[in-house]
Structure 1
Amino acid sequence: MAEILVNPQTAPLDQPVDVLVVGLKAGQTATVQLSTGDRASHAVFEADDRGVVDLTRHAPLDGSYRGVDPMGLFWSLERTGGKAGPTVLSVEGVGDRVLERLAVPEGVERLEVRENGLVGTLFAPEDDGGVLPGVIVLSGSEGGIHETDAALLAAHGFVTFALGYFGMKGLPENLVDIPLEYFGKAIDYLSERAGEIGVVGGSRGGELALLVGATYPQVSAVVSVVGSGVVTQGIGPGANLLQKLSYEAASWTLKGEPLPYLPYEIGGELRARIVNDEPVPLRLAFSTEDGVPEDTEIPVERIAGGVLLISSGQDDGWPSADLSEVAMRRLKDHEHPFPYEHVVYPEAGHLIAGPPHRPATDVTYPGPGVTFSGGGVPRATAHAQANAWKRTVEFLREQLGS
């Protein structure tokens, strides 16, 4: 009798699963489907001589993805227009399995933090009596708090602090004039509860992670994913993207003074895409071909620890590879005494930050009155995200001593 085997059936979101269908006839075709209610994917396989379909070894004949890819059904999930529901893996004529994909892994404790002006959420493995390293997790230009990222990282042996810095109650409304001293308070808060401190951020959060590391010597490791080694202009108030980009203000301040920044360039192509309601590659707002003003470069050589830069070669969000290379150049020029590396995924798009095995089929995403283009090839973006997450965890463990 044929059956579906899933291992593990309950697992954190960042953990891959092995899927097999056994008990089929040799050469029999089987359609494996994955549904989350609002998304669905499928793949058609031919059973091997033993009557087995093994997603870790077999490529589909047809379906939502190509090639051998154990998590292909997960990243290739397409929107259905339906409502979100349980994650169900099914095989026509065989049966189904309900999977539990945990945003907060078992054994991880959660604590909301609203004190001393800080807004965030603390995650930690259940107390084992030891002192664990700490990691501050920063969101990007969307604001808010990245709780899922922090919760999943905590399960790898860290005390994590998902920190908000704008776009939430009790915080500035826009990414304008955010004082770096706020992050100093966050470091002090986490230092009372953890050992060595690292900072992780994606996109504008990656820029911020490098800036915080360069400002506070307590930081022993920085991971910047599709980030920037250059301070860029703030994102101001406004009903639409053009208004927000036209608001001339700094993103960050230090000791009450705005930090110099690379301004946006609102050229003809960018303006036309916005006016014509076409997907907007925001990279058009950043000019790096002739270099950047030196006073906008983040002094990453001051970071008292390792630096991991991760970027994408087809990033439509902004030119993360070029902007991150500015940081790489400074680290090389100053012979940075700690480990540093710049990893570039040539065919990946902007959306590679955060935990893996999530849908990568959305090559566009909503913005203020526009649709942004993320760029990249979905398969490459999915694989880059998985590898970037793995590298991030390993790097933090190596640098912070987890």
Structure 2
Amino acid sequence: MNTTPKEDVVLSVIPLSCLQDEPVLIGVSGLKPNQDVTLQASAIEDQGVHYMSYAHYRADENGEVDVDKMESLGGQYEGIFPMGLIGSLVPAPPHYRYVRFIKRVVEKPLLVTISVHNGHLSAEKLCSSEVTELLSCVAHERHYMAPGVKRIPVQYGEVRGTLFLPPGDGPFPAVIDMFGTLGGLIEYRSAQLASRGFASFALAIFNYEGLPKVVEDFDIAYFEEAVKFLLQHDKVLDYGVGVIGNSKAGDLAASLATFIPSVAACVTINSFFAPANFGLRVKDRFYPPFKYETLLAKFADAGYAFVQSCIPEQKFLQKRMLPLEESSAAFLFVVSAADRDVNSEVQAQCARQRLSSHDYKQDYKVESYPGAGHLLDPPYSPHCYASFEHSYMAAICWGGTAKYQAIAQVKAWKDIKRFFLYHLKEKWHFNNDAKSPTMPGKSQL
């Protein structure tokens, strides 16, 4: 095996270091005219799993490949997909296939090695000792925390989490960020929100540092305490806080917006709007959970048995829906049109109809993204079609395709940041006849 790069072949990745939500330009020069090559991306995530992606290209008559403009002829994706090598990262052979990529250590960048090989190669060949000659390779860093972002562990009464503060004096618009049934503390979205000018509180809700390992019901008092902590922080604007949550954390986010007056803006991502699987206590009132059944369904495109949800009829869910009309928050319902876990588009439309029927005075909107699956993360997060869940001892199908997921991630991230920036900062200045504020880094939002 020849692993020495060819001096006349130049692989460029611009920039070599960037934030995770930023795109890169990838190109190759110095090849033979019409030469077949394989571009590969390779990374080791924080728990030691090797991830890879690859695509087949053919150089033009000048011996060049421009990933931004040229079509992939095969590999993990086909067609023009400029960020395909990053967005299509999956566990490499022989690692277990159904694993979800989660950045656990946000202080350290994701190190991605991008390489170009002669010929059109398979994933197995790329991972074997018989891989053909390496033509060139480049080390690329993708950061989850911008320079100057502060990561502050939080223990406030019963509340546990991590506060991320942007660089500068502030005060900043503030967001509570939650993940659902994963448990523990997930920080990668909060780190990226702080990198874009928001004070973001990654809130743990169970199975973390003194919190219950297994939850039966949620109590709104825990979330009220988290909101109180955030609003009294001297780096936080006091116009109200935002909340964001996906899946189970989405109905929790809607619950905070409904029952905590200080919540001014709420983003739900592919969620129900009734307490799913876990009940909710609001002072002396209890909102019982609805339980949805699951079944094993074999998908021909995967050759594996996936868990598929059996969702109750919409009339049933509408009766159990949270009283969203009691909220004073603005709502953004983010929906993936190819979600195969939750019928999230129908759920969001039901929530919108409920608000409309009550002549709701605040802003509310449904944003739907074609071809995207359930796990809609910030831009260029590797697409996960399915991942193993120990509670089912099987893989759950999330849906979507890498290309449409990447497109949706970029669009949704812009929509979410604009929504929070307006409802947590800008509109208050406008209402006070103040000059529109110039936020640090606003041009990047």
TM-score by length of 1: 0.86
State the partner residue of 2:71.
Answer: 59
Q: What amino acid does structure 2 have at the position aligned with 1:109?
A: K
1:23 correspondence with 2:30: yes
Deviation at 1:231, TM superposition (A): 2.2
- Greater shift in the superposed pair: 79-88 or 145-154: 79-88
Aligned-partner residue type, residue 157 of structure 1 = G
Does residue 14 of structure 1 match 2:21? yes
The answer for the alignment partner of 1:107 in structure 2 is: 148
Deviation at 1:23, TM superposition (A): 3.5
Q: Which residue pairs with 1:141 in the alignment?
A: 181
* Post-superposition offset of 1:178: 1.5
Moved more, 13-22 or 73-82: 73-82
SS at match of 2:307: coil
Query: Secondary structure of the equivalent of 2:142?
Result: strand
Name the CA distance, whole Å, in 1 between partners of 2:38 and 2:423: 44
Contact kept in structure 2, 1:230 and 1:323, CA below 8 Å:
no
Question: In structure 1, what is the equivalent of residue 337 of structure 2?
Answer: 313
1:280 aligns with 2:320: no
Q: Identify the residue that residue 371 of structure 1 maps to in structure 2.
A: 394
Partner residue in 2 for 1:96:
137
Q: Give percent identity, aligned residues only.
A: 31
Cross-structure match for 2:55 = 43
After superposition, the Cα gap between the structure-2 partners of 1:213 and 1:324, relative to the gap in structure 1 and judged at 3 Å, is: same
Question: Which residue among 210, 213, 229 is the counterpart of 1:189?
Answer: 229
Contact 2:246 2:268 in 1 (8 A): yes
Aligned to 2:210, the other structure's residue is in SS state: coil
Structure-to-structure mapping, 1:117-266, within 5 angstroms = 117-126=158-167, 128-193=168-233, 194-195=236-237, 196=239, 197-234=241-278, 250=279, 252-265=280-293
Q: Contact between 1:297 and 1:326, CA under 8 Å: does it hold in 2?
A: no
Q: What RMSD in Å do the two structures reach over aligned CA positions?
A: 2.4
Shift of the alpha carbon at 1:82?
6.4
Unaligned runs of 5+ in 2: 1-7, 45-49, 96-100, 102-109, 118-133, 299-303, 426-438, 440-445
Q: Deviations over 1:319-345 (max 9, x none)?
A: 222222221111222233332211223
Q: Is the CA contact (8 Å cut-off) linking 1:310 and 1:343 kept in structure 2?
A: yes
Is 1:33 the counterpart of 2:61 in the alignment? no
Separation in 1 of the partners of 2:244 and 2:18?
23
Deviations 1:346-382 (A, max 9, x none): 4332211x22312214423323142232242323334
Residues 203, 361 of structure 1: alpha-carbon distance in 2 compared, 3 angstrom cutoff: closer
Q: Quote the residue 2:414 is aligned against.
A: 390
Q: How many residues align?
A: 375
Partners of 2:242 and 2:264 within 8 A in 1: yes
SS in structure 2 at match of 1:280: strand
Residue deviations 1:46-99, cap 9 Å, x none? Answer: 233544322111111222111111111122223224689942001125311111
Whole-Å separation in 2 of the counterparts to 1:293 and 1:263: 14
User: 2:429 corresponds to which residue?
Assistant: none
Q: Do the aligned partners of 2:336 and 2:345 also contact (CA within 8 Å) in 1?
A: yes
Deviation at 1:143, TM superposition (A): 1.6
SS across alignment from 1:100: strand
Consecutive unaligned residues in structure 1, runs of 5 or more: 235-249
Checking the alignment, whether the CA contact within 8 Å between 1:233 and 1:261 is kept in structure 2 is yes
Q: Determine which structure has the larger strand proportion and give its number.
A: 2
Please state how far the C-alpha of 1:182 moved relative to its aligned partner: 1.0
1:201 Cα deviation after fit: 0.4
Could you tell me which amino acid in structure 1 is paired with residue 415 of structure 2?
R
- Choose the corresponding residue for 1:332, options 342, 356, 361: 356
Counterpart secondary structure, 2:172: coil
Question: How big is the shift at 1:225?
Answer: 0.4
The normalised TM-score by structure 2 is: 0.78
CA contact (8 A) 1:230 1:326 kept: no
Contact between 1:108 and 1:125, CA under 8 Å: does it hold in 2?
yes
Quick one: distance in 2 between partners of 1:134 and 1:77? Answer: 31
CA gap 1:201/1:382 in 2 versus in 1, 3 angstroms = same
Cα-to-partner distance string for 1:17-40 (whole Å, 9 max, x where unaligned) = 111223334433332111114122
1:192, distance to aligned residue in structure 2 (A): 1.7
Q: Are the structure 2 counterparts of residues 389 and 372 from structure 1 closer, same or farther at C-alpha, using a change threshold of 3 Å?
A: farther
* Higher mean displacement: 358-367 or 197-206: 358-367
For residue 351 of structure 1, give the secondary structure of its aligned residue in structure 2: coil
Distance change (3 Å), C-alpha of 1:9 and 1:66: same
Q: Give the aligned residue type for 2:399.
A: G
Q: Summarize the Cα distance change of 1:129–1:359 in structure 2 as closer, same or farther, 3 Å threshold.
A: closer
SS at match of 1:36: strand
User: How far, CA to CA, are the matches of 2:420 and 2:219 in structure 1?
Assistant: 26
Q: In structure 1, what is the equivalent of residue 378 of structure 2? A: 355
